[in-house]
Structure 1
Amino acid sequence: MSYVLAIPSTTPVLATRAALQAAYPSSIFPASFAGLEDFHVYSVTPSLEPEYDPTTHKLILQPFTGSGSSWTQAWTIEPLSAAELAALNPPQWQEFAAAVVMDPAINSMLTAVAAAGFPALAGGLQVGMGQAAEGKPQTFVTMWAGVTPMLTEGLAAHLAAMATTYHLPAAFVANLNPA
């Protein structure tokens, strides 16, 4: 059970030992907050947390509302900010790079690009992937644009789907599958 300290002409706050001692410095209080109505301490009728999707929204505990001995505290649901969403699903560049290196279709493409007389392009893709693993995908995107005309059908979409799985930025994913 929670309690509110609701002294008239002040903002109601959660009743804690520190709050009570600050409001009534010369008083000694029992272990329980029950029965302290003379000190403006009242029980709070709890409200159940509403159902929500924590991957897209957050719960915000609202200020205490009420008067006299009847107090409640409710929740609201708000969308997560862009920063909060990013923190929940940070780009996983290193995991993406490891998955790309292990992908047979992409390895076949790199081998084919090198065999077709473009070893520098294949090497640039590999260097670019190493840089992308550090969160700097510019070289990879540039090299990928050079190899795009040589790709087998569906390979660009395959790589874009992989990048989406690892929560990489939408601009990066769009550059992987320009069609």
Structure 2
Amino acid sequence: MASKTVEHVLFPGIDVRVERVSDSSGSLVEEAVSTARPGRCPDCRKQARRVHSSYQRTLTERPLGSRQVMVRLRVHRYFCDRRSCSRRTFVQQVGGLTERHRRSSVGLTDWLRAIAVELGGRPAARLCHRLRLAAGRTRLLRLLKASAVPDRAPQVLGVDEFAFRKGCTYGTVLVDVE
């Protein structure tokens, strides 16, 4: 049987290299570096070629037993070289681990969303407190309202109008026909 590396255990299928794991006051701190290929500009989708700088992001990860887990991830900021693009620099995202403007990992966000779907606001917050997950009721409810933004706009749009009550309240439905 092949031996597994620390990366395969802590980050299965994710392009990171673990540099150090330390235990500090009941929480596990994992220091990692992204090994993913340079990303694409979020606006124009052009592949990055030049590194602007690098910095360390701190992410909250799913707990390991009774320990909280923090990931200190070193990522790159890249230049967007397309002159017509309004964005000059952008940050590399690690698939399966990071999302823009999030301080928690994709895995933890999925856990919190599942708890919020099942329990709602305050009960979900109480369960998160018992599981040692830092999430209040407003954060959990915000996860329910956040809808995924499609990568592209619909090409064929269907429109239907209807009345909830005749002559009083009307509604409109927009459907991506594709």
TM-score normalised per structure 1: 0.19
Which protein has the larger Cα radius of gyration, Structure 1 or Structure 2?
1
Give 1 or 2: higher helix fraction. 1
Give 1 or 2: higher strand fraction. 2
